Amino acid sequence: MPKSLLFIPDISGFTHFVQNTEIEHSQHVISELLETLINANTQNLQLAEIEGDALFFYKENSILSQEILLAQMENMFTAFYTHLKILEKNRICTCNACATAPNLQLKIIAHAGELQFIDVKGTHKPFGTSVIEAHRLLKNSVDSDNYVLISDNLMEGIEIPVNYTSKLYQFQEGKDVYDSNEINYFYSKIETANLQINSFEEPKYISFTLPPDLTFKKEFQISSTILLEYITNYKYRHHWVDGIDEFIYNENEVTRYGSRHVCVINGKHLDFVTVTKKGKANQIVYGELTESSLPVDQLYQFYIITPISEQKCLLEIEVYLNAKSLLKRLLIALVVKNVFKKNTKAALAKFTVFIFKMENSNSKQLKK
């Protein structure tokens, strides 16, 4: 029987990350990274299972060539570290999960052997000794959390020289004993500085020559981090914004600069993108921009959070209504500004009630 490829990308530091950070955001970060690795699968490897912090791919009765295997590994490392850089550069959230996500690392295990399969409720899953060996190779004696490991079985099949060296790879020999059986392998630590990180859009700071058209201020008896979460987590929006039929957004993404969401109002889609502007050193500035068909050309809403103490902060809302034509500017002055003032006041009042209910509920849960 021809050998099959077993291929396992595994996120290093997952357990510590999840145990020591905010649960919801750590889940979102890991989901994003796993999706990134799946999308970086350029060789049509079959995804057998998502295993918490790892992905189990296979290629039945076939293995990749030396060049293609190493390119596939490099592609996943590049995609993974590009996404970590996006999380670092474009993050808004100050929670521990978002702050420490760039410390996560990646290892990839590649093995070859015969595959059998079992069917469980219609799912065709790899099974057998080779599957066990591939997973046990995750527990090895490589003194790094950032590497590729290719088993001796696979190295022989693709004929990579023991001393293979390139800009990214410098292979070394290794071996470990599993259930009294010695398995030899070759590994290469990955220096992230040698990866060609993909380009991505970094946040641009918006500047204004005129003061905002509307401003609102409100103090809250909660931490700035929690207040930011209530504002930027779109699953809460329907609790405090009236007139919205639906919010469309990526539920597995932590909101960051460049994030997009859609408000559906009377069947009409308003597209928003997350932006920012300069604030004071201790302030968190979160903004949303829409250029959808409105009585204005651009609508900016900024939520500026200033910590007062650990459990108290000031929220300032600034609204900018930009229009190019004289007619639209007159419409803003006569009608639109008053409408936005009324709607924003109402939203802020409902937001205050929503926070009170959420914090009261959370307090009761903690006492149980």
Q: What pLDDT, in 10s, does the model give residues 259-286?
A: 999 999 888 999 999 999 999 999 999 9
- Split at pLDDT 50, 70, 90, the class of 368 is low
At 136, the amino acid letter reads: R
Asked whether the predicted pLDDT for residue 164 surpasses 90, the reply is no
Structural domains in the chain, sorted by start = 4-194 (3.30.70.1230), 214-367 (3.30.530.20)
Q: Which residue shows structure tokens 């999706």?
A: 35
Closest C-alpha among 158, 171, 162 to residue 65: 158
pLDDT, tens only, 65-84: 999 999 999 999 999 999 99
Give 150's strand partners.
110, 186
Question: Can you give the pTM of this predicted structure?
Answer: 0.89
CB 213 within 8 A of CB 171: no
Burial 248-276 (b: 16+ CB within 10 A, else e): ebeeebbbbbbbebebeeeeeebebebbb
Name 205's bridge partners. 276
| Digit-coded pLDDT (tens) for 325-346 | 999 999 999 999 999 999 999 9
Residue 101: DSSP 8-state = G
pLDDT band at 366 (very low <50, low <70, confident <90, very high): low
pLDDT higher at 119 or 210 = 210
Map tokens 């609204």 to a residue. Answer: 319
| CA proximity to 98, closest of 248, 234, 229 | 229
- Determine the pLDDT at residue 157: 86
